[in-house]
Chain A
């Protein structure tokens, strides 16, 4: 067997074709003789490794653009990606890792200055459903998760995921007990909510109510330290992004949101406190504070001022100090309303 393949160097197109044939075999022949199957799976693993070498090069040689383009074109000409994704659980660990790297790389390959992976995924968008549900399978989660994150580099794919029912599941995935998987899901969640600005802004405006209700109750008020820390950081990133200013204005007008943020400010974790401050400052700096927001701030004025008086980052941070000074000025200037 070894001799057979050593004798003739295979072109990138050959490699993809042979991989595809073996994937088709792996996909639908559970009852063929065990020994023969094993051989073929070994061969499949080798082929995937070779695809990876073409795309990434090795310690001696850089990848060749022409070969990468040929490989990519052949790969997406037929349904190789679908086969690879569905057969992934049947591969061994090394082959799974190679396959994940191949899929990741293919998302960035241009053929005639087009990302043909994007075109393919648009027509096969249901593959995202498979990848996302990978978070429910301990063995597949990290592989599917890594592929998923590469696929959502394409805006249309990210939009599909954001608008799908899957979005709700992420609130649970990022709290899975298995740290590797939860952290991977959190990374994907963050990517979805920060990568494509206009898509994110549109999504958040359309889905404001359920999204932030979930975000507050499941993440910011989670009992899990890591969840709270990651969530408050991401919330800051989202709200402070210029493209989300409409969402931000809406967020800082809610009394419930302010209450949650004030609780986070009181946390004993320095990291959470600092991140919470970056969101809290938006409430204080808002020049059109609704009366109920203003009255909460007035009621807690002395407590807040005391908190901020010895509120420091570990490292000197001019921006932070400036922000803090402004927040302190805003709060100090607040007067109780006559009516209240």
Chain B
């Protein structure tokens, strides 16, 4: 239980004082445990163990985030009890929020979303936290249901400030979000929830980006998933970045039944999802919206949401299995799509210029502009620069290792080629940091080279076998093994590919974010 009085208790700064009970979350460079703190009456805590050697983050960032965390004090913000290092890991000890994140609650028990009164309570509490944060000059940068936690008494707390990132995280689509948060880059976020101006990055990041994410979170709570989440995360992000949207995907989505929502709820979400950041209301102003009038108590959440919920540990285990299953599945569908692309006949492709909030469907709808629309040009430049580089590399690498290993970039490039948009491909890349991009691509190339080497070795091995005249059966077995291995390698490659792409995008965002500067009040805090 996270009682307020606990804040004053001294939690010990050595790992021996804690007994780890179970794993309740994991990411690329961090694991979250449920544990008990032995000297403090065996109080339950959540410990986020972050591998510092994996993050090449410089310590100034780690320090800043840790400091931000420990100086925040608000009933709706999850505050760390303490943090200390255990060999190469940073342990962040936090109150254990026994009901876990809303994302995991929805996934396990409310696949079609929560009821409106419950949504109102959760959102109101979250807004309280957001209003406090913004007042202190901090941005959250990663508002989503996965970062909103509930305790057994129904209290709602916002978590995840870099160091304490994504506590209780268990969504398959976020397997990389942990690593990106761990890098503690200046801009973080998860694609589905990211505001357009954050993705495009040329207008910089402000408090209003958090409001956008808040609006997306409202949709997430209402529908059980964020908009566009029927697409794999790689595609969703690339699509949102490139503003390319496949019409067929959209149609698929439209057919789904949708629930009825109140006028005031839809109005509130609509305000948050205004394309123009300056028109979105502040957190403080949103709190006064009619949707939050006559909001019920946390007791209501306990009765209507928490009752009969599986434990956080059980949900984590379940989601782990689901994640494995969905990873396989999503890679298959992605391959199918790519094949479809290369055949390239029936696929309608449209470029969209933004997202309009569709009040009737209560979803985000893409906007399809005419080709010559002026405001799209900036975006085009971003995309062309990126793609032309990827394309060059891909052509080269594709010869060596085969298309299927490069599913994400090949997918994008493939689409470009099929669409026959020949005006593309000679962009100046004005918004792309070519140095960063080339660095990342060199890494990619090297790993492809390694892989090629391995394939060559295997071929050599097989030739050798042939010369030696090995038995028919064992050859077959070996081939199966080889195929298995290559399959795994290609899976790994795909994942790395995607991670690299993410990293590139974040670096780009970071670079332009860095030049636009931080809000003045937080700048003086250090």
> Which residues in A have some Cβ–Cβ distance to B below 8 Å?
52, 55-57, 59, 63, 93-94, 97, 100-101, 104-105, 142, 146, 149, 177-180, 183-184, 186-187, 224-226, 229-230, 269-271, 314-316
Q: Write the nearest CB–CB distance from A236 to chain B, whole angstroms.
A: 13
Judge whether A146 and B526 touch: CB under 8 Å.
Answer: yes
Contact status A316-B443, CB under 8 Å: yes
Q: Whole-angstrom distance from the CB of B130 to the nearest CB of chain A? A: 14
Q: Across the interface, which residues of B come within 8 angstroms of A57, CB to CB?
A: 520
Whether the Cβ atoms of B83 and A56 lie closer than 8 Å is no
User: Is residue B349 contacting chain A, with contact meaning CB distance below 8 A?
Assistant: no
Assess whether B59 is in contact with A183, with CB atoms less than 8 Å apart: yes
Q: Which residues of A contact B207 (CB under 8 A)?
A: 59
Asked whether B73 is an interface residue with its Cβ less than 8 Å from the other chain, the reply is yes
A315 touches B521 (CB 8 A): no
A-contact bits for B481-525, CB 8 A (1 contact / 0 none): 000000000000000000000000000000000000000110011
- Tell me if A179 and B84 are in contact (CB < 8 A): yes
Q: Does chain A have a CB within 8 A of B88?
A: yes
Please measure, in the bound complex, the distance between the C-alpha atom of A34 and the C-alpha atom of B443, giving whole angstroms: 65
Contact between chains at B87 and A100 (CB < 8 Å): no
A56 to chain B: which residues have CB within 8 Å?
Answer: 520-521, 524
With CB as the reference atom, state the residue of chain B lying closest to A103.
B524
Having A180-B66, A270-B53, A316-B442, one finds 16 other A-B pairs with CB under 8 Å, namely A56-B520, A100-B525, A142-B67, A146-B525, A149-B526, A177-B13, A179-B82, A179-B90, A180-B67, A184-B67, A186-B63, A187-B59, A226-B85, A229-B52, A269-B53, A271-B56
Question: Per a CB cutoff under 8 Å, which of B59, B84, B524 touches A105?
Answer: B524
**Given A183-B63, A226-B85, A270-B53, is A104 in contact with B520 using a C-beta cutoff of 8 Å?**
no
Do A179 and B71 form a contact, CB below 8 Å, given A100-B525, A269-B53, A315-B443? no
Determine if B443 and A314 form an interchain contact, defined as CB atoms under 8 angstroms apart. yes
Chain A's closest residue to B136 (CB) is A97
The answer to whether B53 and A187 have CB atoms under 8 Å apart is no
CA distance A146 to B66 in the complex (A): 13
Q: A93 to B71, Cβ gap below 8 A?
A: yes
30 chain-A/chain-B pairs, Cβ below 8 angstroms: A55-B524, A56-B521, A56-B524, A57-B520, A59-B207, A100-B525, A101-B521, A101-B525, A104-B526, A105-B524, A142-B71, A149-B526, A178-B82, A179-B66, A179-B85, A179-B90, A180-B63, A180-B67, A183-B59, A183-B66, A184-B63, A186-B59, A187-B59, A187-B60, A187-B63, A225-B52, A225-B85, A271-B53, A315-B439, A315-B440
Q: Please, how many angstroms separate the alpha-carbon atoms of A149 and B73 in the complex?
A: 23
- Residues on B with C-beta less than 8 A from A59 are 207, 282
**In the docked arrangement, what's the CA distance between A179 and B136, Å?**
22
A224 contact from B85, B446, B524, B525, Cβ within 8 A: B85
Q: Is B371 an interface residue (CB 8 A)?
A: no
Question: B379 contacts the other chain (Cβ, under 8 Å)?
Answer: no
B56 touches A101 (CB 8 A): no
> How close is A277's CB to chain B, nearest CB, in angstroms?
15
**B143 CB to nearest chain A CB (Å):** 18
- Please, which residues of chain B bring their CB within 8 A of the CB of A270? 53
Judging by beta carbons under 8 Å apart, are A225 and B88 in contact? yes
Cα distance, A100 to B521, chains bound together (Å): 11
Q: CA–CA, A184 to B62, complex, Å?
A: 10
By a CB distance below 8 angstroms, the chain B residues around A52 are: 521
List, in ascending order, chain B residues with CB within 8 A of A226's CB: 52, 59, 85, 90
Q: Which residues of B contact A (CB under 8 A)?
A: 13-14, 52-53, 56, 59-60, 62-63, 66-67, 69-71, 73, 82-85, 87-88, 90, 136, 207, 282, 439-440, 442-443, 446, 520-521, 524-526
Docked complex Cα distance between A133 and B88 (Å): 28
C-alpha gap A227/B402 in the complex (Å): 45
Report yes or no: B63 in contact with A314, Cβ–Cβ below 8 A: no
Selected from A177, A225, A314, the residue in CB contact (under 8 A) with B84 is: A177
Instruction: Tell me whether B53 and A101 are in contact (CB under 8 A).
Output: no
Instruction: Please determine whether B521 and A93 come into contact, CB atoms closer than 8 angstroms.
Output: no
> Closest approach, in angstroms, between the C-beta of B164 and any C-beta of chain A?
12
Residues of B near A271 (CB, < 8 A) are 53, 56
Q: Name the distance in Å between A294's Cβ and chain B's nearest Cβ.
A: 33
| A149 (CB) vs chain B CBs: closest residue | B526
- Pair B63/A101 contact, Cβ less than 8 Å: no
> Among B85, B90, B439, which residue has the most Cβ atoms of chain A within 10 A?
B85
Cα distance A315–B442 when bound, in Å? 8
Q: CB distance A183 to B136 under 8 Å? A: no
Let me know if A177 and B14 touch, CB within 8 A.
yes
B56 touches A314 (CB 8 A): yes
Least CB distance from B423 to A in Å reads: 32
Contact partners of B282 in chain A: CB under 8 A? 59
Determine the distance from Cα of A57 to Cα of B60 in the docked complex, in whole angstroms: 26
Indicate whether A180 sits within 8 Å of B56 (C-beta atoms), given known contacts A101-B521, A225-B88: no
Measured CA separation A187–B65 after assembly (Å): 13
Distance A271 CA – B58 CA, assembled complex (angstroms): 11
A178-B84 CB under 8 A given contacts A56-B521, A93-B71, A183-B63: yes
CB distance from B346 to the nearest CB of A (A): 41
B83 contact from A180, A186, A225, Cβ within 8 A = A180
- The distance in angstroms between the C-alpha atoms of A62 and B289, with both chains bound, is 27
Q: Which of chain B's residues have a CB closer than 8 A to the CB of A316?
A: 439, 442-443, 446
Contact (A183, B13) CB under 8 Å given A146-B525, A314-B443: no
The answer for the CA separation of A270 and B88 in the assembled complex, in Å, is: 12
User: Chain A residues near B442 (CB, 8 Å)?
Assistant: 315-316
Q: Which residues of A contact B87 (CB under 8 A)?
A: 225
Chain B residues whose CB sits within 8 angstroms of the CB of A183 once the complex forms: 59, 62-63, 66-67
Query: A184 contacts which chain B residues (CB < 8 A)?
Result: 63, 67
Task: Give complex CA distance A226, B50 in Å.
Answer: 13
**Closest CB pairs A-B (n = 9):** A183-B63, A177-B13, A316-B442, A179-B83, A104-B524, A56-B521, A180-B66, A105-B524, A101-B524
Q: Kindly report which residue of chain B lies nearest to residue A224, judged by CB atoms.
A: B85
Partner of B13, one of A101, A178, A187: A178
Nearest-CB distance from A222 to chain B (Å)? 11
B1 to A: closest C-beta gap in Å: 22
Q: Separation in Å of the A153 CB from the closest CB of chain B?
A: 12
Using Cβ atoms and an 8 Å threshold, which residues of chain B touch A314? 56, 443
